[in-house]
Structure 1
Amino acid sequence: MDAPLLRLNGIMRRAAGLEEISLNLARGETLALLAPPGSGKTALLRLVAGIDRPDAGQLLLDGRDLVPLAPSQRPLTLFDPVMPANRTVQEAIAQLLPGYGIPARDRPARIARALTALGLDGFEGRRIAGLGPLPRLRAAFARALAPEQPLLLLDDPLAGLDPAARRAFAFELRRLARRLGLTLLLATREGEEAMALADRIAVLDGGRIAQCDRPRALYEEPATALIAGLLGENNRLPGTVAWREEAECGIRLDCGPLVEARIADAGGPGSRCIVAIRPDRVAVAALPAEEMGEGALPAALRDSVFLGDHVRLLMELGEGGMLVARRPPGARLPVPGGPASVAWDPYAAFAYRALR
């Protein structure tokens, strides 16, 4: 197996709350640092870029120790969305190349390759001030690609776009990274964006890596309630652990029913916990619970919203327990006041310790 391009060993930065961060990034891989605001993901990028220095630990890029090197000496690019408004696209890209030691004779070819990669052929003479948000972002990415460094650092790079454009450009950036063999270290607070872009996702919590794995593995088996919440919508039903056996436990929900779930980080009997189940894993039937089958719970439909590719149902369990389910539009669904029940595979539900 090839050695990692980037290796972080026991990185600490006390001012940013980072403790013992160890990560490897393979050549040609995209790794997303996912966390809520203020969790240290930007601070970690700054350490790799050389803007700040770690209190302890190793930063190795292609086997070379980065810590003694100034930012300008590091073979990487930190993406900057801010472009000089009074420059043309070509001038803005060319402006940074001398700092990377790129000979003048090679600069036009690098600029041309970057513009073509971002679909900006013909934009060379356009002024940055005259570009819309998306072309300006493309120009900023072209400027980041033109130095052709081994590693590209991205800190919430799509923040300026509206949700639809942000989603579309994330998939475009994914294809671009794979086509060009780019190595990306990305910091984001958006779980969907991390899943769209990254080969692996490292979730930061409390200054440490809480879990690092491929997007599907994190989505299907999140280790903590924070991770489950960052990677998609979850129902969160509070309760108390009633029994625990190996990998499973029973939880008496505050709203009344006793349910089963897989143990994530929940404690033993008597401890408070949260049962998390994704809306698309909740089955809904327009039947009494005894007719739906084993494990079904009586429920009542409180609201339904048609959203095109699915119907969003708000179901009440027991005394005031609210559960969201997502079902296909053509499914037979309960009606207000009619019989209704819900069920889910206990293997798809997780019991997490209750967050204070």
Structure 2
Amino acid sequence: MDTPLIEFEAVAKTKAGLAGIGFALARGETLALLGPAGAGKTMLLRLLAGQERPDRGRLLLAGRDLAPLSPPRRGIAVFEPGLPARSTVQEAVSQPLASYDVPGRDRPARVARALTLLGLDGFEGRPLAALAPLPRLRVALARALAPEQPVLLLDDPLAGLDPPARRALGFELRRLVRRLGLTVLLATRDGEEAMALADRVAVLEEGGIAQLDTPRRLYEEPATAFVASLAGENNRLPGTVEWREEEECGVRLACGPLVEARVADAGGPGSRCIVTIRPEKVAVAALPAEEMGEGALPAALRDLIFLGDHVRLLLELGEGGMLVAKRPVGSRVPVPGGPASVAWDPYAAFAFRALR
């Protein structure tokens, strides 16, 4: 990685349950903080912005300790979805510029550039109260960009939008921050959003970082069952380890079958575990298991849903074990009541210690 622009050095904040957080962002990088509500994502943004102070540790920008600097002197812009009441778009976007010591003569140009970037040309005189949710969100983003700071903090910036609009604006935002060369720290609870917007993702778990990696490695090689549950859809099959070698193990699923999986953080024989497998990694055949081949398991199709570019199959394994598979449209799939079997590459499945 390039020389870090932002560094968190063993940062702790007791009231948020954060202990010894350490990571760095390169100039122009987008890093997502991913975790459920209460994981400490927003607190980390507030610490970097100067709205809170760490109990221990340091935060640095280009090697400079940020502790002595007030928020406007840090070179950091903060996205805030709340907008001033009874304001026009022009007024709302211009308002923060005074705190960044932007001269009055330069403010109209800053506002105009920000509005253009967000597709809001012609909205300058409109009252905020008259805007729909999507244009209001665009105004809030323009307000964060207008100070033209090198670092941008985004706390769940796409909240409140329906899925199609959220996805479209997310991709637009990704292109925009790259075009401007911004360094972005993003907080989100949405794994798909984190992977779509960020160069790397840090998953927060129990006050620390469970895994910090590229979206692809996070998805394909999750470090814990918790990480696997956040980074995309995953089948989770409880069981008990029967045998274990260096990288592989055999797991007797609670629903009956014995399967092989790659060892993640599962324990030795006799320990409870969770086997995870991505739906797209599950092969499905309209054949009895003995005809599908070695490692195949008998299954029963319980539901099939058409979703445009793929079909989603819900299959039952053994006694009550439910498994989701995704297959391309046009694939030959089982029919209810007909023969069915499933299989997967053991290296694509992971055995994790069971979460308490």
| TM-score range relative to shorter protein | over 0.9
| 1:14 alignment partner in structure 2 | 14
| Cα separation, 2, equivalents of 1:183 and 1:136 | 23
| 1:227 alignment partner in structure 2 | 227
| 2:271 alignment partner in structure 1 | 271
1:34-89 deviation line (CA, Å, top 9, x unaligned): 00111111111111111111111110012221122222332111111111231111
Q: CA deviation at 1:318?
A: 1.1
Q: Give 3-state SS (helix, strand or coil) of 1:95's partner.
A: helix
Which runs of structure 2 are paired with 1:187-198 in the superposition (5 Å)? 187-198=187-198
Q: What is the aligned-residue identity percentage?
A: 75
| Cα separation, 2, equivalents of 1:2 and 1:317 | 48
1:5-28 deviation line (CA, Å, top 9, x unaligned): 101110011111101101101111
| Cα separation, 1, equivalents of 2:231 and 2:94 | 38
| Cα separation, 2, equivalents of 1:139 and 1:145 | 10
| 1:32 alignment partner in structure 2 | 32
Which runs of structure 2 are paired with 1:120-159 in the superposition (5 Å)? 120-159=120-159
**Structure 2: any 5+ residue segments left out of the alignment?**
none
Q: Give 3-state SS (helix, strand or coil) of 1:249's partner.
A: strand
| Cα separation, 2, equivalents of 1:329 and 1:185 | 38
| 2:67 alignment partner in structure 1 | 67
Q: Give 3-state SS (helix, strand or coil) of 1:96's partner.
A: helix
1:173 equivalent to 2:177? Answer no
Q: Give 3-state SS (helix, strand or coil) of 1:202's partner.
A: strand
| Cα separation, 2, equivalents of 1:69 and 1:95 | 21
Q: Give 3-state SS (helix, strand or coil) of 1:338's partner.
A: coil
1:282-325 deviation line (CA, Å, top 9, x unaligned): 00000011111111111111111122221111111111111111
Aligned length: 356
1:213-249 deviation line (CA, Å, top 9, x unaligned): 1101100000111111111111111100011111111
| Cα separation, 1, equivalents of 2:71 and 2:343 | 55
| 2:337 alignment partner in structure 1 | 337
| 1:182 alignment partner in structure 2 | 182
| 1:259 alignment partner in structure 2 | 259
| 1:91 alignment partner in structure 2 | 91
Q: CA deviation at 1:136?
A: 0.8
Preserved CA contact (<8 Å) 1:171 1:196: yes
Preserved CA contact (<8 Å) 1:85 1:127: no
CA-based RMSD of the aligned residues comes to 1.0
Q: CA deviation at 1:121?
A: 1.1
| Cα separation, 1, equivalents of 2:119 and 2:313 | 42
Q: Give 3-state SS (helix, strand or coil) of 1:164's partner.
A: helix
**Structure 1: any 5+ residue segments left out of the alignment?**
none
Which runs of structure 2 are paired with 1:43-82 in the superposition (5 Å)? 43-82=43-82
| Cα separation, 2, equivalents of 1:229 and 1:2 | 30
| Cα separation, 2, equivalents of 1:93 and 1:303 | 50
Residue type of the alignment partner of 1:208: G
Residue type of the alignment partner of 2:198: A
1:85-126 deviation line (CA, Å, top 9, x unaligned): 311111111111011011112112111111111111111111
Residue type of the alignment partner of 1:318: G
What is the TM-score normalised by the length of structure 1? 0.98
| 1:323 alignment partner in structure 2 | 323
Q: Give 3-state SS (helix, strand or coil) of 1:236's partner.
A: strand
1:251-306 deviation line (CA, Å, top 9, x unaligned): 01111111011111111110000000011110000001111111111111111112
Distance 1:28 1:344, change over 3 A: same
| Cα separation, 2, equivalents of 1:349 and 1:311 | 21
Residue type of the alignment partner of 1:88: T
Residue type of the alignment partner of 1:148: E
Q: CA deviation at 1:2?
A: 4.2
Residue type of the alignment partner of 2:278: R
What is the TM-score normalised by the length of structure 2? 0.98
| Cα separation, 1, equivalents of 2:84 and 2:18 | 33
| 1:110 alignment partner in structure 2 | 110
| Cα separation, 2, equivalents of 1:277 and 1:40 | 28
| 1:201 alignment partner in structure 2 | 201
| Cα separation, 1, equivalents of 2:250 and 2:44 | 39
